[in-house]
Structure formats: C-alpha cells, structure tokens
Amino acid sequence: MIRTLGFASIVICVAAAAGCLFDEDTAPIDYLRIDGAIIVQALDIDPSLPEIEQRLTPPWLTLYGDGTLIRAEPDGNGGHRITRARVPEADVRELVEDLADEGFLDFYVFEEPGWDGPEDATVTYLYLNTKQGTNSVRALGLDRPPGEGASDEHERLAEIYQRLRVTTGADARPYTSDRVALFVQVADPADVGDDYYAWRIPEIDLAEVAGETGAGSAILSATQTKLLAPGAGWRPFVQDETVFLVGFRPALPFEERFPEFDFPAPP
C-alpha cells in the first residue's frame, strides 16, 4: 500500500513543529470537536472509470468533529444518495479509538497486498485526523474478503473498512447544499470530437480551475452555476478554444478542507 501524501503529511508536519503530538502512552487518543474538522473519511474509486468520474465520486463516509456524519451511496441511476446524520460524541470517540487501536496512525508506506486480487479491485482511500496525528492510506480490494497471502496490514485495513461501513448516525435525512463542487479537466479534442457545448458562464475561467496540472476543482455558489443542469454529472465544454471535461455535484460541508487523494486512481 502507498501512503497518500499532501494534505495529511502537511498536517502531521505542522503538528509536530507546534509540539502538538502526544505520547500515546500518556495521552488518550483525542480529536478536534469543531464542525469544520474532518475526522474520518472513506472514499471508494472504480479505477476503470474515466478520471473525471473518479473525481466526481463523493466520499461514502465523512465524519466531522461536531458529530455530523455525511454518507453517500449509489442511487442506481449513476448518481449518489447523500444523507446527513448525527453521531453522539461518545460514539465518535469510540470510533476514533478503534481506528487508532488497529494501528491506523502507524500505517505509512507498504507494499501492495501480497495476494492475487481481482483486476477490477476497488481503490479505497481512508483518512483519520486526531490530535495525536493524521494519516491517509490507499489500499486495493478492501470491499472484499482478504485473499490468501494478504498482509497483516491489509487485513487490519479491511477490518477498519468494515467498521466504517456499519457506522451510522441518528436523525438521518437527505442532504442538500447551496454550493456546487466543480471538477475541471483539460480534454484531448481527438477524444471528444465535435460533441461538446459552449461554456456560457464567463465569470468562471475553466483554465484557471484546471490549473497547471490540467485537472482541478472549485467550490462555487449555486447562483454561479445556475446555467448547469441540476443534480450531478459531467460533459465536455469549450472555452477560449480549449475543450474541458466539466463535472459537478452538490458540495459537501467544508469540502474545500478535504484531504487530497491521488487521481486518477491506479488501475
């Protein structure tokens, strides 16, 4: 397994520099109890999907420091059914402690699981943020029972995955948002042909959103994207003679603070 670098690594370095890391032998695992803190997150990606669809896929679980739980499950029509619920503080603490006890904060760089996994194995990203440290990992096939020869780390990650799958909250209700998550990727015109639309929101510069890497995202207000179709999806657009793949879906709470994961997911 390969540790995902970026946001999580920066958090660890900043915490260490500030003297915020605690000795696990003397301090219990703890977390930030504020609404903007992402404590636990889990995201499944089908590596066979186009990169723009991978980027559009919302995490299926995001747990915040104030106990807010956002879950996103496939709706059977190509989209996702997103719900919002509440998890009591005691249950959040128990979950965080369970993940830490499984050694999640100690998972760094591993080899991929030593088992003959299926070629279509789901790529899973898992993230845990505590006062003692922050970590994110990438693993293959956690949604399936570990095969013969799976490493100890893989089996422990599979247990964490299943623990998160059964994590629910109270008072679950449909989630709605007045913001839109926009995902932009520079396209090869040869792949798109003439099947694209003119971009009609001039105040949104697609090249600026795509950035130097050619793929990026932005969180916008619903009024900024009023010309887009409601819901979620993606399609090719042209702006200033450049063709882009543009995807959009409802933005999740504090999505601009989400950890950075690698895209496209490795096949």
Q: For 239-258, what is the mean pLDDT?
A: 93
pLDDT at 22 over 50: no
The answer to whether 44 and 12 have CB atoms below 8 angstroms apart is no
**Which pTM was predicted?**
0.83
* Long-range pairs of 5-13 with CB within 8 A, sequence gap ≥ 24: 6/259, 6/260, 7/136, 7/258, 7/259, 7/260, 8/127, 8/129, 8/134, 8/135, 8/136, 8/259, 8/260, 11/129, 11/134, 12/133, 12/134, 12/135
The pLDDT-based confidence of 204 (bands split at 50, 70, 90) is very high
| pLDDT score of 111 | 44
Backbone angles phi, psi at 34, to 5 degrees: -130, 155
Residues 150 and 215: their CA atoms lie apart, in Å, by 34
Q: Where are the domains of the chain?
A: 2-173, 177-250
| pLDDT score of 229 | 62
Q: Considering the domain 2-173 in this protein, what is its CATH number? A: 3.30.1560.10
The pLDDT-based confidence of 227 (bands split at 50, 70, 90) is low
Where are the alpha helices (H) located in the chain, listed in sequence order?
Answer: 7-17, 51-56, 89-101, 152-165, 189-192, 206-210
Instruction: Extract the tokens encoding 200.
Output: 């009609």
